[in-house]
Amino acid sequence: MPSITEPAAALVKGFGITLKHLFSRKFTSQYPEKPHPIAPKFRGEHKLNKDGEGRVKCVACFLCETNCPAYAIRIKSAPAPDGWQDRERYPAEFEVDLLKCIFCGYCEEACPVDAIALTNKIPEVETSREAFILNKEKLLANADLPAATSAEKYLDDILKKWKG
Amino acid sequence: MTPEIAISLGRILAVIAGVLSAVPYLVFAERKICAYIQDRIGPNRVGPWGLFQPLADGLKLLTKEEILPNGIDRFAYLLAPALVMIHPLATFAIIPFGSSITLFGQTIRLQIADLPIGILFFLGVASLSVYGLALGGWGSNNKYSLMGGLRACAQLVSYELSMGLCLVGIILLSGTLSTSQIVAAQEETLLGFLPAWNVFLQPAGFAIFLICAFAENNRLPFDLPEAEPELVGGYHTEYTGLRFGTFFLAEYASMITMSALLVTLYLGGHHLPGVTTRDFGPVMTGLISTAVFGAKVATVLFTFIWTRWTLPRFKYQNLMSFSWKCLLPAALVNLLMTATVITLSG
Ligand code: SF4
Ligand code: SF4
């Protein structure tokens, strides 16, 4: 005759677990009404920063394009317009293809003048491949969005926490 | 029309309407409880708290296309959905769902038919429920449906035995086959405080009956006739639209009926010491007893749902050996002990 206490105890335990979950905190987020909070380190669409005079900060050095592991950046460099004293060249065109991009943030790390950065903005859903390419206007329009926490700062924060 | 016929018709209509309109909300409750157990919220988009979700579900089933698959046995295929509804609705005829109401000088008992052989009637009708499932499986001409139908038959036959033996225990205790008298026998209290419900007199019988009730309704952990991973949908794989809806409706309706029967046999029916023993006037007393009955049924239904989302499904060979090697001997021992005690105490 098999023992009855063992299965009975397992049953009680199982029913206890489901009963506990009946009253525990729910994880569903009510998406369209209450969007899920986005972590500050979330890397979304790129932005091109502007300098003090509202001009694009980029000096068209191609470091980001060279550094991009996904070949997502395409820059067309041109001699800087007259009166731009601080640099010789500027990007006449600047494109980031969001379908190629893997949101690694290497472009941001490579840039010598802090001209490109990733923001928290989630890329919008589009219906054509072309629409996923961020051109210079769109990138500049993102200029005022806060940048995602950089990998460097994120690591620093973690290290600080560890060291106490 | 004589008043007796009018009263009978009224009761029948009330019961059918009550059971059938409770079904969508039972489905809704099932979805909500399942969601809460899984740390989700469940349907909450249609109407306040999702309360109109059952309406939307029903409308969906109504507007779905009805497909008659090729190669079916038309007669069996079309008959099956009608047959499955017989068991839940007919069984409710013998269940006393309240004491009585006095209206216009007429005393109306809240039970459709107080048969002197109510329990036998239940056993007979319960066996009929096999036909719907088996014919559905057979008529669909699909191997998975057939397997589901056969499993349903084997399962129902096996578990009905233990269930019957539990019922014999109850019959011995109360000395009657009539459901209303079984309820009346549970009216007093034991030792001054415990209600004299059969669950306290027959705890083992109650447990066995509960397990058999799960199996009779093809509820998890005994839902092998429609085990999705193996059999697609079991006997209702080939059904669509409202015909599928009928199977669905019948499954939940028989859950309600089975819970009502469990309450009647083991949980004191519509009695609750301290509440239904008082007099609240000719109409209210009956209504309150019905409310007590409803609350008890809801509790049992909650147990059904709770079990479904706790226990995994049995393997088929375990299902059969559990029935024949555990439940049946246990039910026999229970019956033997009950009989001995009754004989000894005279
Ligand atoms: S985030 Fe990475 S992949 Fe995307 S553009 Fe920058 S370097 Fe390329
Ligand atoms: S964004 Fe930065 S790294 Fe890229 S081309 Fe411009 S200045 Fe160079």
Residue A94, H or E segment = strand A89-97
Question: Which atom of ligand 2 sits closest to the CA of residue A110?
Answer: 3
B287: number of Cβ within 10 Å: 15
Give whole-number Cα distances, A93 to A33, B200, B224, B305, in Å.
38, 84, 65, 62
The whole-number pLDDT of residue B192 equals 66
**Looking at the complex, does the CB of residue A4 fall below 8 Å from at least one CB of chain B?**
no
Average pLDDT, integer, range B161-172: 87
The whole-number pLDDT of residue B346 equals 67
Size of interface A-B (CB pairs under 8 A): 32
- Kindly indicate whether the domain formed by A46-149 is annotated with CATH number 3.30.70.3270: yes
Is the distance from CB of B206 to CB of B198 less than 8 angstroms? yes
- Nearest by Cα to B144 from B78, B74, B80, B225: B225
Cα nearest neighbour of A17 on chain B: B310
Average pLDDT, integer, range B326-346: 87
Closest Cα to atom 2 of ligand 1: A104
**Whether the complex's predicted ipTM surpasses the cut of 0.90:** no
A134 lines ligand 2 (CB under 6 A): no
pLDDT digit string, tens, across residues A74-117: 999 999 888 888 888 999 999 999 999 999 989 998 999 989 99
Average pLDDT, integer, range B269-277: 73
Token output for B83: 């047959």
Q: Percentage of residues in chain B with pLDDT exceeding 90?
A: 0
Give the start-to-end residue ranges of the domains of chain B.
72-345
Of A102-106, B16-20, B138-142, B217-221, highest mean pLDDT: A102-106
Q: Percentage of residues in chain B with pLDDT exceeding 70?
A: 95
Token output for A97: 């293809």
Cβ partners under 8 Å of residue B286, min gap 6: B98, B99, B100, B101, B102, B108, B110
The whole-number pLDDT of residue A100 equals 93
Q: Which residue(s) pair with A22 in the sheet?
A: none
| Window from A93-102, B3-12, B302-311 with minimum mean pLDDT | B3-12
Are residues A18 and B306, on separate chains, in Cβ contact within 8 Å?
yes
- Nearest by Cα to B18 from B265, B255, B294: B294
Q: Which residue(s) pair with A95 in the sheet?
A: A74
Closest Cα to atom 2 of ligand 2: A111
pLDDT digit string, tens, across residues B221-260: 777 667 666 777 777 777 877 888 888 888 888 888 888 8
Are residues B40 and A21, on separate chains, in Cβ contact within 8 Å?
no
Q: Which residues line ligand 1 (CB under 6 A)?
A: A 67-70, 72-73, 96, 101-107
Tell me which amino acid residue A140 is.
L
Residue B202, H or E segment = none
Mutate to test the pocket of ligand 2, among A64, A71, A74, A76 (most ligand atoms within 8 A of CB): A64
A60 lines ligand 2 (CB under 6 A): yes
| Contacting A residues, span 12-51, partner chain B, CB-CB under 8 Å | 14-15, 17-19, 21-28, 30
**Looking at the complex, does the CB of residue B279 fall below 8 Å from at least one CB of chain A?**
no
**Rounded Cα distance, A105 and A118, in Å:** 7
User: What distance in Å separates residue A21's CA from the closest CA in chain B?
Assistant: 5
Nearest CB partner across the interface for A21, out of B37, B307, B311 = B37
pLDDT digit string, tens, across residues B50-95: 888 888 888 888 888 888 888 888 888 888 888 888 888 888 888 8
Nearest CB partner across the interface for B41, out of A19, A22, A26 = A26
Average pLDDT, chain B: 82
- Range list of H helices, B140-268: 143-174, 179-185, 198-201, 203-216, 228-231, 241-266
The whole-number pLDDT of residue B204 equals 85
Give the distance (Å) from ligand 1 centre to CA of residue B340.
83
Cβ partners under 8 Å of residue B106, min gap 6: B3, B7
Give the distance (Å) from ligand 2 centre to CA of residue A61.
5
Low-confidence ranges of chain A (pLDDT < 50): none
**Rounded Cα distance, A91 and B257, in Å:** 77
Q: Which residues of A touch B37 (CB under 8 A)?
A: 18, 21-22
Is the distance from CB of B249 to CB of B73 less than 8 angstroms? no
